[in-house]
Amino acid sequence: MKVAIIGAGFTGMTAALDLAEAGHDVVIYEKSAIAGGLASGFKAPGWQDSVETFYHHWFQSDAAMKRLVKRLDFEDQVRFYTPVSVMYHEGKFYPFDSISAALRYPGLGFGIHKIRFGFVGLYLRLTKNWRALEKETARDWMNRWAGEFVYRTMWEPMMIGKFGERYADRVNMAWLWARISARTTQLGTFEGGFQALIDHFVEKLRSLGVTVRFNTEITALEPLSDGKIRLRIGGGAPEYDRVLATCSPEALTKLVPALTAEYRDSLKELKSIGAVVLVIALRKPLSKEGYYWYNLPKSAGFPCLALVEHTNFVPRDRYDDQTIIYAGDYLAPDHENFSLSKEDLLKKMIPGLKKINPDFNEDWIVDCWKFSTPYAQPIPFVDHSEKIPDIRTPVPGLYFASMSQVYPYDRGTNYAIDIGAKAARIVMDNL
């Protein structure tokens, strides 16, 4: 069968790998100049490794990623480290990357609060019954079992930073369970950066006969009377037996006018939030203590949700002895940060850098790069599993797989790989 895949992120490439190895003729269409989607990277002069445009790492528990890397025969190039993540409290940062570290965190106070936090954390690490948890918001569940103080101190700043004031109190507890239960302190990356793995992946696909067409945007998908689907691509109109779209739900509604009203409505019900990331290269390390991931409360005056010192994870000598900083934020697509120049966004971030290190000087800045996307974080409400659209769309031969369907788990390369493999199985089951 001739199969078209829209999008050369990890979802589309994984599906292409499975379909090609099963003997199908696969073409991937990617509107960008490179593969990788939100996991793609870039290099500045003098850097040995790429840096992702939107920050990524793997967890030791990411089984789908490990299977894929083994399948591509690149296991020896995966690197795992245990960098230190910290939380802010009364002007200082404290390690906060395990239950034991959290129990030493002074922001939890003493006595009953730490006991409740510890027992709730242990329960969430052990339970698998996420469907019961999705019937309640994270705020209500945590207030009842961990206590209002623990939720307000520990989880509410992250929920507000992640989903904004509008949605923070409406996110269900299964989403928070997935973050707590599935993540590890050991974090992984690929030697040379994610883009090195992505480029190897593209070479593997091409060796299997997959065609990858970059700088090619699909403008419409049209089902035909003979069961095929026509793609509108500039002046061309190729036809395929099957099509897998890995775009956002909103993009799919625009691409396929033939979708039923019911399926279209189900896509429109999927809410999401965007992201703006500023990557900054410095001449000196920012963190005096060697911290890696800073969880930043906006209530304390920080201009972003998270600041990541990438070179406390991957050595600075891979980046011409520069320090690489990510300043990242989840924001509604109409937020002013989306329209700011990288220079203006940098001005907003500098006070936060000085709060982390009072010795920071603007002369340390080598360069900066801004990246943004309106579709970065799906928002799961109560009973979200009942609202996820089927990978099989009502248009015969058309399939849809996106980060909005990896629920209850959070978006990330591991689950992009997982849903890509799932989508390929469904396509082949329906041949």
- 140 phi and psi angles, rounded to 5 deg: -65, -40
HEC letters along 21-77: HCCCEEEEECCCCCCCHHHCEECCCCCCCCEECCCCCEECCCHHHHHHHHHCCCHHH
Give, in degrees to the nearest 5, the angle at Cα 227 between 221 and 228.
45
* Cβ-based neighbour number of residue 359 at 10 Å: 9
Residue type, 416: A
Q: Distance (Å, rounded) from C-alpha 201 to C-alpha 87?
A: 36
- 48 phi and psi angles, rounded to 5 deg: -85, -35
* pTM score of the predicted model: 0.93
pLDDT in tens, the chain (431 residues): 999 999 999 999 999 999 999 999 999 999 999 999 999 999 999 999 999 999 889 999 999 999 999 999 999 999 999 999 998 888 899 988 776 777 788 888 777 888 888 889 889 989 999 999 999 999 999 999 999 998 988 888 888 888 888 899 999 999 999 988 877 888 999 999 999 999 999 999 999 999 999 999 999 999 999 999 999 998 789 999 999 999 999 999 999 999 999 999 999 999 999 999 999 999 999 998 999 999 898 888 899 989 999 999 999 999 999 999 999 999 999 999 999 999 999 999 999 999 999 999 999 999 999 999 999 999 999 999 999 999 999 999 999 999 999 999 888 899 999 999 999 999 998 77
CA proximity to 308, closest of 284, 289, 320, 291: 291
Does residue 405 contact residue 376 with C-beta atoms inside 8 Å? no
First vs last Cα of the chain: how many Å apart?
8
Model confidence pLDDT, tens digit, residues 273-286: 999 999 999 999 99
Domains of the chain from N-terminus onward:
98-182 (no CATH), 274-378 (3.90.660.10)
